[in-house]
Structure 1
Amino acid sequence: MDRWLVVGAGFAGAVLAERLASQLGALVTVIDRRPHIAGNAYDRRDAAGVLMHQYGPHIFHTNSEAVFEYLSQFTAWRFYEHRVLAVVDGQLTPIPINLTTVNQLYGLSLEPDELEAWFAARAEPVAEICTSEDVVVSRVGRELYEKFFRGYTRKQWGLDPSELDKSVTARVPVRTDRDDRYFQDRFQFMPRDGYTAMFEQMLNHPSIEVRLGVDYKEVAGEFEDAQVIFTGPIDEFFDFRFGALPYRSLRFEHVTLDQEQFQPVGTVNYPQTEAYTRITEYKHLTGQEHPKTTLTYEYPTAEGDPYYPIPRAENRALYKRYEALALETPRVHFVGRLASYQYYNMDQVVAQALATFRRIAEAR
């Protein structure tokens, strides 16, 4: 029987463990240095009994029917479309920027067909779009860039948007209609009973053993004959041979209030004020009815757990050196956000893990 060691019990690790056990009959050991499964998607009921996300909000959305159908084996769903407001010039206004945002901030009554011209009149021509600043000013001009993007980006990344790759702000669309949903994907749902419950179902297989609070280097000797799925930081796997890959981290402040609701939507962003970037209120996401409510304040930091690969050309070049080592490493498959040094959404990690499994199965 094939023996596999899966390092990391987040999406990449759990999907591959489940597929290897259920489809190939492999014997799988899953380890995670944290005391829980589900990686950054881990959710739990806090002391007040409110279901909250330990590592900040995780909102599932995908256009992939295959990914949605795969995960549907392990959870029922709650329909949920995420909405975000930003505190700008003292007002709560929709983000991504849309028709309502512009009309509200500027006291206008534009129609959708007029907004495109309004943006065009303010947009600054950029010969070659390379940075996050270029993306925004070339689309909507400098004033909206300053109001919505510059301060938030500087807090989030510790860098000015002019120093960051265009991919950062390209993730946030600008709309000319009144659509105030944060995402426009076909499938927008939350696991009905939470993410941790979904992961428990994924890993509930007689051929899967889960060990928590365990570091890879502590047990690697036990698995010298096993194939390995590694979902941790790729630079750490190679003992930082070429130096550490740069990441941004987050500090979370969880607060429970003795009131039913704190804010009108799931997340409120603070691009102009405060040291934190956003506040999330989980009952909007989960639909839980409870007399109290729990919030998370997010403070970006330079130190701590690796969350966001910093998208700059020199960092990508450093990753490529580690990737070359990974391709030469027998029996080890590097999968997931940290192993790929790539900012993936949850559905993208699931898709990558399923594709990796297909390659493994075909190689047999």
Structure 2
Amino acid sequence: MAQVYLGVDAGNSKTVALASLASGEIVGAGRAGCGDIYGVRDPADAVAAVLGSVDAALSQAGATRWTVSAAAFRLAGVDWPEDGEYWDRALREHWPALTQRSIANDGYAALRCGEPSGIGVSVVAGTAAAIAGRGPDGAMWDMGWWSQHAMGALGLMTEALRAVYLAELEAGPPTRLTSALLEFYGVPSVAELNHRFNRREGRPTQADRTRGARVVTATAMAGDPVASDIVDEQGRRLSLYAQIAARKVGLLDRPEPISVVLSGSVLMAPSSPVAAALLAHLGERLPTAVASPATLPPVAGATLDALAEGGVALSPDVVGRLAGTVPPPEFLKT
């Protein structure tokens, strides 16, 4: 079997691995559960998920761990040095033969999805947000726990519920979010909505909470001032951390345009008002920014990282072949 290159994108909702040939052709794909060491009861469960997705991808490719030339692990929860050290120890224990590997926060996975050079800033807004930057000299910075604001679907819903509760208490302006969220969640009153999300027993899952984010954006698009302010604030926050990432990796010191890659369900939704707000604020904070939506799923960006780190030149042919063989959206859907 020819040597393969492995990209892994691990989050809270799922972990996905792709196996690629040096030509860029994807020959195997695997899925597993939560790969975030912060999102599981025992970090070993995250390791099992990551390696499970890897083995599934290699099995489909007719390959083994011994045939992996390079692997790029882009993992939610790699936020501090000790997190990377944990994964390094785990991979050395479970896969000692894998010497060409890199471990980084999952925010970096999206960079090559819109900028094959891997130089620029990625802004991911899905369930939460991940923002990362890489400079021309290899400097890297990711938001991790530096974020002081709730963003992504969690941020939209956190702010929307706060607005609804304050409106009910006559401590904030009335908003159409109240009726929209009551209808969406099938509860008769704001008191019941509050109870649903804050009771001691039987609280809904994070997925149940975040699915209401689409109601927030739809209400904003319908013209509700409160929802519109929430959406605009999301764009402002995302642009702020994108600017910080660009500064941290030295991109502000260059005359060249700064590539900003947008990814994640909140930003990639059709006619996303959050994306529009982000672009408006980004123009103020980073006038030389050239923003583009990711054309590939994050795991494909991780696979491009593995190819590049393994010595493969990312020619248009290689990138195009990878893009043409990525698994269908149904496989990658959360």
Asked if TM exceeds 0.5, the reply is no
Q: Give me the TM-score of the superposition, normalised by structure 2.
A: 0.28
Higher RCO (CA < 8 A, seq sep 6+):
1
Structure in which a larger fraction of residues adopt strand: 1
Q: Between Structure 1 and Structure 2, which shows a larger proportion of helix residues?
A: 2
- TM-score, normalised via structure 1 length: 0.26
